[in-house]
Amino acid sequence: MTSPASSSEVKYLIESSEGNTFDVSGAALRQSNTFNAMFLNIGADGPIPFTDYNEATLKKVFEYCEHSVNEENYSGPKHQDDLSKWDLNFFNEMDQKMFIDVINASNFLDIERLTSYCCERIARMLRGKNTQEMIKVITLPTAEELEAKQKVEEKKAAAAKKVAEKAAETAEKTETLEELPVQQLVQTTRNKLTRKYLSFSNE
Amino acid sequence: MTSPFPLLRVPNLPLARIIDFMEPNELVPLSFCSQKSHSVIKTLRKASCDEHLLVGGSEKNVLSILFKNFGCVLSTTDSAYISSFQKEEYVKLGGQQVRVKFHRLRNHLITYWEDKLTGLEAITDYVIDLFNIDVSEVCISKYSFKMIEWVNNRQTTPLKKIVYMAMAWGPCSSEDEMNYILKDCRCSSEILIYSEAPPNFRFLNNFRRIDCLDISNSKWVTIDNLLSMDGIDIILGSSTLTSSDMNVFLKHWLSGGCPRLKLFLARIDTVDVSQLLDGLVHNAVLVVDRRDYTSPFGHIRTLPSGVDIRRADGVTATVCYQQTGKLVIAVWPETTYNYN
């Protein structure tokens, strides 16, 4: 059911990328500034299509919104140490892929509280780490890995060059062989003519 | 969540939020991770308007870059101090590979250089560029003196504060250095000289307008020097000024000299009250109430008692000689100074 009513009892249908639909309360949805800007006043005639995100991600995001419906107005990020047990569980049970999907969806839906907590959580992951440790955390190749990769690429390039040179050499040889009978023919003809001319002039 | 996280695949908006949650000392090692991480910090980070960058240091072997109100973000030290047990780690800085170590207690990177002053220039360049911020303060010693000029040549905004610190075992500053700091170098607000001046040093020029002048060893400051000052906070340690000199200065202030003055503080061995207030008694009101006074540059003094003198425009100053040997002139009302 979709309607522009502002009561928290109102349920909205959300459509995911799989084409599945599910209910979300108006109160939960209103935490999304994107929803507020697009649908709150005009309502929606069918399921609200958030089809860039899969059902699992959207359900996770709105699970958070449903839970924080009664929390006081957002006033800047909470320190992670002040997060409730529920909040901590919510974040801890997400794997890496889900966490990225939730940040993306929360960013698109402009859910201030959830986006802030996610961002602060990531910032904390990098705290107290040196460059090498950060490279591992943010899954960048290390200098050694880059060097090894470069060496492999150089080897590949050298091998490819060798193959190309060999191919060119073979092609040149074939060309010479093909040309040989013609040249021989020309030379033979020339020799015959020379000999004929000489015998004629001697006569 | 402790598993790896592909940070640079996060969309720009939340990525900017993540960067804003990170402290400068965390962003520096992140910037060394890759070209992309460097450019992301450079472009997405929102600089706070109350950020001030300090360069230099008073430690014997370490020169640092610090954010005021935060702390050190990157430092430089002599490569001779590298421990042989230390795991080798390098970062690309200023076009060269530089050996670094992460200080676990202080949470910042230390870079190692053959010449740590060259290192300080390189890391200053790097931090200025990364955070898009000019240097506000330099804290220099005789060894790093040229950093004042180096910084001033690098940026259009003049330095706000210069702190010249002589090391305890180091030689006193030279006349050229003193003259350069007092007369020539570009500095818009504060000059603090915590160094012994050369013997027989005299400053023969007029003082330029310096908001806060703090000279820890001011034996060379004469009454003529004092009369040419135009400051808000003037702090003179180990002064040779006499009660009569201070009387001249008070009359100078009463007649409109040194108009911006808020706090004058000089360490004077003995004060003769009759000389100090000679010709001013008719204007002096004894105050016995204990009062606290905070100057625009944050100097806090307790005024146990004293005399109030009033200028023709109604502005009142309390003159107070403390048992610690300090003569204080505190001009009312208290005001705060906005660093920006």
Please write the tens of the pLDDT for every residue from B164-186: 987 655 667 788 999 999 988 88
Of residues B261 and A176, the one with the higher pLDDT is B261
Q: What is the mean pLDDT of residues B322-336?
A: 89
Q: List C-alpha distances in Å: B158 to B18, B188, B229, B231.
A: 32, 6, 20, 18
pLDDT score recorded for residue A185: 62
Residue contact B1–A139, C-beta within 8 A? no
Among partner residues B1, B22, B100, which is closest to A126 by beta-carbon distance?
B22
Cβ pair B312, B327 in contact under 8 A = no
Residue contact B29–A95, C-beta within 8 A? no
- Sequence-ordered alpha helix ranges (H) in B155-242: 175-179, 223-227
Q: Which residues of chain B lie closer than 8 angstroms to A100, CB-CB?
A: 5-6, 9-10
pLDDT band, very low/low/confident/very high, at B78 (cuts 50, 70, 90): confident
What's the distance, CA A36 to chain centroid?
Answer: 29
SS3 labels along chain A: CCCCCCCCCCEEEEECCCCCEEEEEHHHHCCCHHHHHHHHCCCCCCCEECCCCCHHHHHHHHHHHHHCCCCCCCCCCCCHHHCCHHHHHHHHCCCHHHHHHHHHHHHHHCCHHHHHHHHHHHHHHCCCCCHHHHHHHCCCCCHHHHHHHHHHHHHHHHHHHHHHHHHHHHHHHHHHHHHHHHHHHHHHHHHHHHHHHHHHHHC
What would the DSSP string read from start to end of B38-106? HHHHHHHPPPPTT--EEEE-SSSSEEEEEETTTEEEEEEEEGGG--TTSPP-EEEETTEEEEEEEETTT
Give the separation between CA A70 and CA A30, rounded to whole angstroms: 12
Does residue B226 surpass a pLDDT of 80? Answer: yes
pLDDT score recorded for residue B59: 67
Q: What is the pLDDT of residues A41-65, one digit of tens each?
A: 666 678 888 899 999 999 999 999 9
Mutate which of A61, A96, A110, A126 to test chain B, going by most B C-beta atoms within 10 A? A126
Q: Which residues of chain B lie closer than 8 angstroms to A96, CB-CB?
A: 1, 3-6
Nearest to B236 by CA among B257, B204, B213, B202: B213
Q: What is the mean pLDDT of residues B106-121?
A: 91
ipTM above 0.85, yes or no: no
Pairs of residues, one from chain A and one from chain B, whose beta carbons lie less than 8 Å apart:
102
Residue contact B107–A128, C-beta within 8 A? yes
Give the separation between CA A142 and CA A146, rounded to whole angstroms: 6
pLDDT band, very low/low/confident/very high, at B339 (cuts 50, 70, 90): very low
Residue contact B29–A129, C-beta within 8 A? yes
Q: What is the mean pLDDT of residues B52-77?
A: 85
pLDDT band, very low/low/confident/very high, at B162 (cuts 50, 70, 90): very high
Chain B closest-CA separation from residue A108 CA (Å): 9
Give the separation between CA B13 and CA B202, rounded to whole angstroms: 58
pLDDT score recorded for residue A87: 86
Give the separation between CA A15 and CA A7, rounded to whole angstroms: 21
Give the separation between CA A72 and CA B281, rounded to whole angstroms: 63
Of residues B158 and A75, the one with the higher pLDDT is B158
Instruction: Return the ∠ at Cα B313 (arms to B312 and B319), rounded to 5°.
Output: 70
Among partner residues A77, A106, A138, which is closest to B5 by beta-carbon distance?
A138
**3-state SS class at B142:** coil
Single-letter residue type at B81: Y
Residue contact B30–A125, C-beta within 8 A? no
What's the distance, CA B264 to chain centroid?
Answer: 18
Mutate which of A131, A144, A149 to test chain B, going by most B C-beta atoms within 10 A? A131
Chain B closest-CA separation from residue A8 CA (Å): 28
pLDDT band, very low/low/confident/very high, at B225 (cuts 50, 70, 90): very high
Residue contact A119–B26, C-beta within 8 A? no
pLDDT score recorded for residue A149: 79
User: Terminal CA-to-CA distance of chain A, rounded, Å?
Assistant: 119
Residue contact B89–A130, C-beta within 8 A? yes
Give the separation between CA B165 and CA B187, rounded to whole angstroms: 16
pLDDT score recorded for residue B45: 94
Among partner residues B3, B14, B30, which is closest to A134 by beta-carbon distance?
B30
Does residue B222 surpass a pLDDT of 90? Answer: yes
pLDDT score recorded for residue B208: 87
Single-letter residue type at B67: F
Of residues A109 and A37, the one with the higher pLDDT is A109
Does residue B280 surpass a pLDDT of 60? Answer: yes
Of residues A22 and A176, the one with the higher pLDDT is A22
Give the separation between CA B279 and CA B110, rounded to whole angstroms: 60
Q: What is the pLDDT of residues B2-21, one digit of tens each?
A: 568 889 888 898 999 999 99
Residue contact B30–A120, C-beta within 8 A? no
Chain A closest-CA separation from residue B86 CA (Å): 14
pLDDT score recorded for residue A43: 64
- Beta-strand pair B96-103/B90-93: antiparallel
Among partner residues B17, B29, B30, which is closest to A115 by beta-carbon distance?
B17
Give the separation between CA B307 and CA B315, rounded to whole angstroms: 14
> Could you tell me where the beta strands, DSSP code E, fall in chain B?
53-56, 62-67, 71-78, 90-93, 96-103, 108-113, 135-140, 159-165, 187-194, 212-215, 233-236, 263-267, 284-287, 291-294, 300-303, 306-310, 316-321, 326-331
Q: Which residues of chain A lie closer than 8 angstroms to B10, CB-CB?
A: 100, 103-104, 122
Mutate which of B2, B9, B21 to test chain A, going by most A C-beta atoms within 10 A? B21
pLDDT score recorded for residue A1: 44
pLDDT score recorded for residue A4: 46
Does residue B307 surpass a pLDDT of 70? Answer: yes
Phi-psi region of B156 (alpha: psi -120 to 50; beta: other; left: phi over 0): alpha
pLDDT score recorded for residue B58: 64
Residue contact A123–B21, C-beta within 8 A? yes
- Global pTM reads 0.79
Residue contact B22–A123, C-beta within 8 A? yes
Mean pLDDT: which of A165-179, B85-99, B269-283 is highest? Answer: B269-283
Does residue B340 surpass a pLDDT of 50? Answer: no
